[in-house]
């Protein structure tokens, strides 16, 4: 699975949403209240089906990133979905990792 974002949507949500589920989600508030619950459940089931289909396909193994993902990359990826307090903690972790790398470089 790619880690790139399309309009701020994580890759796993892009897979789950398929090509048109976002349109269905946009329509839900305009439906009669009695239909909204059933439509939401149907959309969630379709998302699950899309995810299962993706991970059960032989091509999903080919989409794994070839290089090792660093902790910094992971924290940077998470950072865009965090609130201010969480971002401060993530920044502290990133600074610590940077300091550790600098120390390791110095020790070599």
Average pLDDT, the chain: 83
Per domain, the residue ranges of the chain are 1-65, 67-108
pLDDT at 37 over 60: yes
pTM for this predicted structure: 0.57
> How does DSSP assign 47-59, residue by residue?
HHHHHHHHHHSGG
56-72 tens-digit pLDDT: 877 655 555 556 778 88
At residue 30 the predicted structure's pLDDT band, cuts being 50, 70 and 90, is very high
């Amino acid at each position: 699975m790619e880690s790139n974002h399309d309009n701020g949507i994580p890759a796993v949500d892009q897979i789950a949403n398929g090509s048109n589920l976002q349109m269905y989600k946009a329509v839900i508030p305009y439906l009669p209240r009695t239909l909204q619950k059933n439509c939401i459940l149907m959309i969630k089931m379709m998302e699950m089906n899309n995810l299962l289909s993706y991970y059960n396909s032989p091509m999903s193994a080919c989409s794994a990133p070839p290089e090792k993902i660093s902790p910094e990359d992971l924290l940077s990826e998470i950072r865009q979905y965090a609130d201010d307090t969480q971002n401060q903690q993530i920044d502290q972790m990133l600074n610590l990792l940077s300091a550790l790398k600098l120390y390791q470089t110095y020790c070599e």
